[in-house]
Amino acid sequence: MKALFDQVSAKCSQITTQTYSTSFSLGIKFLSAKIRPAIYGIYGFVRLADEIVDSFNDYDRKVLLSQFRSETHAALENKISLNPIINSFQQVVHQYQIDQILIDAFLDSMEMDLEKQVYTKQLYEKYIFGSAEVVGLMCLKVFCNGEKKLYEDLRYAAMKLGSAFQKVNFLRDIRADHLELGRMYFPNMNFDNFTDSDKLTIENEINIEFEEALHGIAKLPNSAKRGVYLAYIYYRTLFRKIQNIPAKHIMDKRVRVPDVEKAMLMLNTFFMPQTGRRSLEHVG
């Protein structure tokens, strides 16, 4: 019975999410129970693709990613995959009418990570769109659940939130990206001579995107608002810690939010009023 396989597939995506990302898992717990499986389905899919390009160094990652892309396209056409995570994802795509252009843009960005390269502004913007902004749009499709006008109204804010999250990740993971993976995402930056001025330029860009994203979070349906806001304040907290580190020490260690602090963020979000930007700012 395929229904049982679909349940197993959804559970695989949930386990993948909870194993690889405690921060996003916390946010998902604050979403309505009705939409949690869909967000697990999206995150499990993007996490698996990310692992292919980042972690499977003892294997031919180009071949693996090509197979992953082919299996995804076949699953979207046939509405089934024997890969449980892809099967879970294709269900979400069909249920919430996620555009394939978003999926292909994401896979294109993953392909960019197969090669060591210095990113120009154009490549940087393409990568941010494919690796982060489209993921925000996929999730927004779930949150809006067919409300096309709401989706269009919140589209820009969702993209900015995904972009801000990704850029915070870039700053947090500079050491691993630069020294271990040979990647330099931020254009016109020399991380062998990374200055406070360079860091401030990036931080100002992220701050603007966080502010633009907050407008959209306040307008989300109540089924999604608390969960997205928890992810937002988690990343803003992480970002503030990064801001307090001088540029010359940014590669010394990976910044994290302690579990006790995460618990406090969860409590604040649990008691957050559900209405409007002002209440969001008050809590944040």
Structural domains of the chain, ranges and CATH numbers in brackets: 2-283 (1.10.600.10)
- pLDDT (mean) for 120-132: 93
Q: What is the CA radius of gyration of the chain?
A: 19
Q: Which two tokens stand for residue 71?
A: 């299996």
pLDDT of residue 144: 97
Residue 111 has pLDDT above 80, yes or no: yes
Per-residue pLDDT band for 276 (boundaries 50, 70, 90) equals very low
CA distance 284 to 269: 9
For residue 226, report the phi and psi dihedrals to the nearest 5 degrees. Answer: -65, -40
CA distance 202 to 44: 29
pLDDT of residue 161: 97
> Model's pTM, two decimal places?
0.90
For a pLDDT cut of 90, what percent of the chain falls above it?
68
For a pLDDT cut of 70, what percent of the chain falls above it?
92
- pLDDT (mean) for 176-180: 64
Of 257 and 106, the structure prediction assigns the larger pLDDT to: 106
Per-residue pLDDT band for 42 (boundaries 50, 70, 90) equals very high
pLDDT, tens digit (0-9, with 9 covering 90-100), for 196-224: 898 899 999 999 999 999 999 999 999 99
pLDDT of residue 219: 96
CB 217 within 8 A of CB 280: yes
Residue 15 CB contacts under 8 Å (≥ 6 apart), including other chains: none
pLDDT of residue 275: 47
- pLDDT (mean) for 258-277: 66
Q: Which two tokens stand for residue 82?
A: 């024997």
Residue 129 has pLDDT above 70, yes or no: yes
CA distance 138 to 95: 12
Residue 271 has pLDDT above 50, yes or no: yes
pLDDT of residue 134: 98
Closest C-alpha among 192, 49, 201 to residue 184: 192
CA distance 257 to 75: 37
- Indicate the average pLDDT of the chain: 89
pLDDT of residue 182: 64
CA distance 131 to 162: 9
Residue 19 has pLDDT above 90, yes or no: yes
pLDDT of residue 26: 80
